[in-house]
Structure 1
Amino acid sequence: MKLQERINAFAQLGSYLNTIVLNPLDEKFQTVLRTTKANNGWFIEENILHALKSWSKALQKDNLEKWVSNYQIPQDNIPKSIAIIMAGNIPLVGFHDFLSVLISGNRVLAKLSSNDKILLPFLTSEILKIEARFVDYITFTDEKLENFDAVIATGSNNTSTYFEYYFSKYPHIIRKNRNSVAVITGDETPEQMEALSEDIFRYFGLGCRNVSKIYVPEDYNWDHFFNNMFVQKQIINNHKYANNYDYNKAVYLMSNIKLLDNEFMLLKNDNGFSSPISVIFYEIYASNEKLRSQLVSEKENIQCVVSLKDIPFGEAQTPQLWDYADGVDTLSFLIAL
């Protein structure tokens, strides 16, 4: 397949995803939804549809062409087999790697997370209807990975150590734990703060692009924050989320740890980044200059920064195709193989 043919195929997939978003009651899709939710209780319909809507926008033809226009993708390269070890923390979290491998003309050898093993095979079946020649380029396996040329693996800090050891002799991208942060000045509008609630609560905060920590200025008026979080108060009605909220609150209180609490989220003063579900860490900063220096020094722990000057509030979970995880250009890596 030529590059333009691959672009056209994924653009058609994007159009198909848009029809699903507009008509989620489609019988086939409802079967996929039920199976997915039964497999992973965190994958509720609202969040699955949000992920599909984001991808339907990303996979527009103009967007795909803009993305690949920055690269020299060979038209006649011999396809390499790329092993992809996917995470399963949010719906379709591994789709960008899947897309990057195929759009670059290479073959996918994917090992799915047990937490997200329904959605990508479903999308694969749809893209094969659009472009049958992809059948020789896509393989899913539950077995030991073998006969591959390079690796893209995403996991925790612990599993990344294993990945680094096991795949050291292959060209690889190994991703570790990262979290996202927000810098609040107090000058944000109510609309911007409500948008921040989307960055915090979408996918129950399980994604690396979810804001898990906020930085606030000295003498910050917390009403500015909490008043605009109440738009998300219904999240406590999810029993899995509520169980985490109750558990974390009990643990902190038994340890005499001071908390800010609005009955569906907890704020804890902490210099860490990876906060538990239902908890947001916060730090108080004295000057913007010192904070920016601190963020640079912590860049290996930070996926993205949401603020008035960085990623706009509300857009953390809708990255562009060229917004690469961990800042590692996946497409350049694949083209250079």
Structure 2
Amino acid sequence: MDTEKQISGLIKAFQEIQNLLHKAAAEPALQEEFQTVLTRAKQENPWFTQENVKFALEQWAQLLTRENIKAWLSNYRIAKIPKKVGLILAGNIPIVGFHDVLSVILSGNIPMIKMSSKDRLLLPFILKQWSLYSEGNIKYELVERLHDYDAVIATGSNNTARYLEYYFKDTQRIIRKNRTSVAVLSGNETDEELKLLGEDVFRYFGMGCRNVTQLLIPEDFPLDRIFENFTAFGDIINHNSYANNYDYHKAIYLLNQEKFWDNNVVMMKEETQLFSPLSVLYFSRYNNQQEVHDFLEQNTENIQCVVAKPELEMESVYFGETQKPSLTDYADKTDTMRFLELI
């Protein structure tokens, strides 16, 4: 396969997708096909609202520039003899597995893709456009069951991961488990920064591993400031499935007489656990930076991102940036491209 044609085709495909997002495609038939994909994706998975699907596609379109792709690939060897890599993709947020597909193809290998039943339409549309614009210089297989693979990259829940580890124990593999993200507030955040934090909490209804589900806040930080700056995301409660989760967890807390804070859109609950239920945001208070460091260290295997201001001097991303990862932001912090070099 010709890597240069793959890269050129990828860029052109996402330029076309960007045109489709802005309803500026040259071909009316393609625009209609794209709209049908968006509509059917939401019908099959109500969490895949057009807003969220379009956001995911737009982020990829902005990321996939020639400069970014070349800089990323320059750190790795491209395979001379392609291997078949089985991919078991998640479906919690739109095209969440595309980075794995991209990595396998651009590393010179062939992905055998088992898509999630929750996300069956978006990836085939993207791959069709990529193949078209790369003059057929990409190879991939969409499969119901993996077979004849040389390596596997699979994503699942913690329970599923145990099964996958056993099933693929004799295969070179990356098995990904549940992760989530944490925000650390210093107490000096502006209203604008707290509004941006809302994007990290509510984008994709909080269902991604890069969504914030736990806030670490100073002892005297007023929760009202968080609620006040989350009002811009109030429309989320109008989504039927989200509202059902909200009503369910609120009823449970009331029945159990558990303490929680509520703004009729999201509940906040003081807990040290990382993974909060949908429609709930956990928070913990801290007295000093050592407590923060210890918490993050103890939970490092379960944390994908830490959101914080640079002044806190920790490895972190800025407010509002969790759902805009770079090509080198690997899931579980496992370098997929380095793994693919070794198979």
Distance 2:268 2:78 in 1: 47
SS at match of 1:227: helix
User: Partner of 1:30 in structure 2?
Assistant: 35
Partner of 1:291: 292
Q: Give the residue type in structure 2 aligned to 1:14.
A: F
Shift of 1:289: 2.1
Contact 2:156 2:176 in 1 (8 A): yes
Q: In structure 2, how many angstroms separate the alpha carbons of the residues matched to 1:270 and 1:118?
A: 38
Equivalent position amino acid for 2:258 in 1: I
The answer on whether the counterparts of 1:15 and 1:60 sit within 8 Å (CA) in structure 2 is no
Deviation string, structure 1 residues 140-173 (Cα, Å, up to 9, x no partner)? 111x311000000000000000100000111100
Q: Report what 1:86 is aligned to.
A: 89
Shift of residue 132, structure 1, vs aligned partner:
3.8
Residue 225 of structure 1 and its aligned partner are, at CA, apart by 1.1
Give the secondary structure class of the aligned counterpart of 1:204.
Answer: helix
Structure 2 equivalent of residue 336 of structure 1:
342
Partner Cα distance (1:186, 1:148) in 2: 51
Amino acid at match of 1:91: P
Aligned partner of residue 136 in structure 2, secondary structure:
helix
Judge conservation of contact 2:85–2:111 (CA < 8 Å) in 1. Answer: yes
Distance 1:253 1:280 in 2: 16
Matches within 5 A, 1:207-246: 207-246=208-247
1:24 Cα deviation from its structure 2 partner: 8.0
Contact 1:14–1:58 (CA under 8 A) maintained in structure 2: no
1:11 positional shift: 1.4
Amino acid at match of 1:107: I
SS of the residue corresponding to residue 133 of structure 1 reads coil
Equivalent runs, 1:124-273 vs 2, <5 Å: 124-134=127-137, 137-142=139-144, 144-273=145-274
Query: Aligned residue for 2:283?
Result: 282
Amino acid at match of 1:62: E
Q: 1:99 and 1:119 mapped to 2: Cα distance?
A: 14
Residue 221 (structure 1) shift? 1.4
2:12 match: 12
State whether residues 14 and 60 of structure 1, in contact with CA within 8 Å, keep that contact through their aligned partners in structure 2.
no
CA displacement, residues 113-136 of structure 1 (integer Å, 9 cap, x when unaligned)? 00001100111111121124346x
TM-score normalised according to structure 2 size: 0.94
Distance 1:16 1:30 in 2: 14
Compute the displacement of 1:22 (Å).
Answer: 1.8
Q: Does 1:57 align with 2:71?
A: no
Residues 17 and 55 in structure 1, CA contact (< 8 A), matched pair in contact too: no
TM (normalized to structure 1)? Answer: 0.96
- Tell me if structure 1 keeps the 8 A contact 2:9–2:132: no
Identify the residue that residue 324 of structure 1 maps to in structure 2: 330
Alignment of 1:106 onto 2:109: yes
CA 1:37–1:213 in 2, change beyond 3 Å: closer, same or farther?
same
d(CA) in 2 for partners of 1:311, 1:37: 30
1:291-310 → structure 2 map (5 Å cutoff): 291-309=292-310, 310=316
Task: Kindly indicate whether the alpha-carbon contact (under 8 Å) linking 1:13 and 1:59 is maintained by their aligned counterparts in 2.
Answer: no
Which residue does the alignment assign to 1:70?
75
Q: Tell me how far apart the structure 2 counterparts of residues 225 and 294 of structure 1 sit (CA, whole Å).
A: 21
Equivalent residue, structure 2, for 1:95: 98
Q: Which amino acid aligns with 2:221?
A: Y
Question: What per-residue deviation string (whole Å, max 9, x for no partner) do you get for residues 23-64 of structure 1?
Answer: 289322111111111100000000000000000011111111
Cα RMSD for the two superposed structures: 1.3
What are the ranges of 5 or more consecutive residues in structure 2 without an aligned counterpart?
A: 26-30, 311-315
